[in-house]
Structure 1
Amino acid sequence: MRKRDATAVELMDLPDCDARRLDNTYRQFGVVNRVLGGWRRLYRRELRPLLAVQPVRVLDIGSGGGDLAVMLARWARRDGLSLSITGIDPDPRAASFAQKRPPVQGVEFRQAHSADEVVAGRTYDVVISNHVLHHLPAEELRTLLAHSEVLAGTKVLHNDLRRSPAAFTLFGMAALPFRGSYIRVDGLTSIRRSYTPAELSALAPPGWTVERSAAFHQVLTYRQG
């Protein structure tokens, strides 16, 4: 835990991983992200104040199975607010799973990379990601941040794991009920691959700040202006 294990590979990222276990992983992410990800707090603190003023367009980079986009859209609708959210993921398996979800008003999914959005000249009010940063080596992380600055008109929220021995131990116990998926084994690998606040701060260019999120999470944040 003292050093980031940048060479560790998550099983679900392997092209020949078990398709059934992969689908189960996408399904179970909904529970994991709702309970552990800290997005309810981020929605209240960062998104709802914007939504109270005007409709907001959100880009969810690396949206995986799509659970976060759907969750945010439902919270906004429950509050009587207007939010549209586009989830993109370069992995065709993730994009396909998300596109097969029951339709939710204001939510769409596409197979795409953040670079594709930049080239297409698309812009959004807010750019977010969840558990993406730890997948990226330093240069790819900086590229993502550069793309995010171009794509976001107001703010960027990259929510990710914060590496610590306590996070590793507690998640290992908490994830025991998740069977038939890659949640537990890949979750532990993700923690080993994740950055500490100091490591993330050192990599981020000027204008970016690392803020505490939920337990064992951190948000790399950028605010325009």
Structure 2
Amino acid sequence: MDTHDVSEADFAACLRDLEAVNALTFAAPPTLGFLSRATAGWEPGRPLRVLDCGSGQGGMLRRIHRWATAKGFVPDLVGVDLNPRSRAAALAATPADMAIEWRTTDIFDVQADDGFDVIISALFAHHLDDADLPRFLRWMEATAARGWFINDLHRHWFAWGGFTLLSQAMRWHRFVRHDGPLSVRRAFVSADWRRLLAEAGIADATLRWHPLFRLCVSRLK
């Protein structure tokens, strides 16, 4: 969907359906669970600065904003995406009282002195190639003060077939019907992450499976 010449309206429609997919497949709970662990013992009123890589329409950061506000934290959230149409869609979907910053830039241009407590991504890592994945892990390790969390897919035949049937039944956007099964095929099994973490020189990350077919990697400092 990032390589097709489509209108902003068509692109936004695809992102809206992706948010529906994420809600139906329980995308947010693993990330919110990690943030709960990362902020354990924090006092109300403390700022929580989070960077979301490949933020798309921004649904995850809006969930985090509501979660952090309910916890009494002060959310300081930044979404980064290479596609400028993502920023436009995120701005349109975000209530005015949610002060979330949307950037159009390369994630590797973000530095540790930007002061992020936590770096997250959701369904982003499988878009990177084998050369960039260890680089991504090392960059998160160097840039996040408190820790990082990768929320991605488990490569499995049932996930591939189930999503193919579901996306057709729900009549989701044509890009979702095409890219969803492809994303599952590009996704990971545990052995992939163990190899990539070893290449990145990270020995103490945690690997967990979550419903529905989410394989998540995290590091809490």
TM class, shorter-length: 0.7 to 0.9
Alignment gaps of 5+ in structure 2: none
Aligned pairs (5 A) from 1:55-134: 55-101=47-93, 102-118=95-111, 121-134=113-126
For the Cα contact (< 8 Å) 2:48–2:73, is it kept in 1? no
How far off is 1:52 after superposition?
A: 5.8
Q: CA deviation at 1:96?
A: 2.4
Provide the rounded CA distance (Å) in 2 between the counterparts of 1:75 and 1:195. Answer: 28
Aligned match of 1:145: 137
Answering whether residue 32 of structure 2 is matched by residue 36 of structure 1, we say no
Aligned to 2:209: 212
* Residue 24 (structure 1) shift: 0.8
1:203 is displaced (CA, Å) by 1.1
Structure 1 segments of 4+ aligned residues over 3 angstroms from their partners:
17-21, 78-81, 178-181
Question: What residue ranges of structure 1 are gaps of 5+ in the alignment?
Answer: 1-11
1:61 touches 1:114 (CA, 8 Å); kept in 2? Answer: yes
* Count of paired positions: 211
1:21 equivalent in alignment to 2:13: no
Of the three residues 23, 35, 38, the one matched with 1:47 is 35
Structure scoring higher RCO (CA < 8 A, sep ≥ 6) equals: 1
Q: Which residue of 1 aligns with 2:219?
A: 222
Contact 1:114–1:147 (CA under 8 A) maintained in structure 2 = no
Spell out, residue by residue over 1:155-208, the C-alpha distance to the aligned partner (whole angstroms, 9 max, x if none): 100100110000011111222214344212110111111121111221123233
Inter-CA distance 104–159: structure 2 relative to 1 (3 Å threshold):
farther
Q: Distance in 1 between matches of 2:40 and 2:89?
A: 28
For 1:220, what is the secondary structure of its paired residue?
strand
Q: TM (normalized to structure 1)?
A: 0.84
| Map of 2:147 onto structure 1 | 155
> Percent identity over the alignment?
27
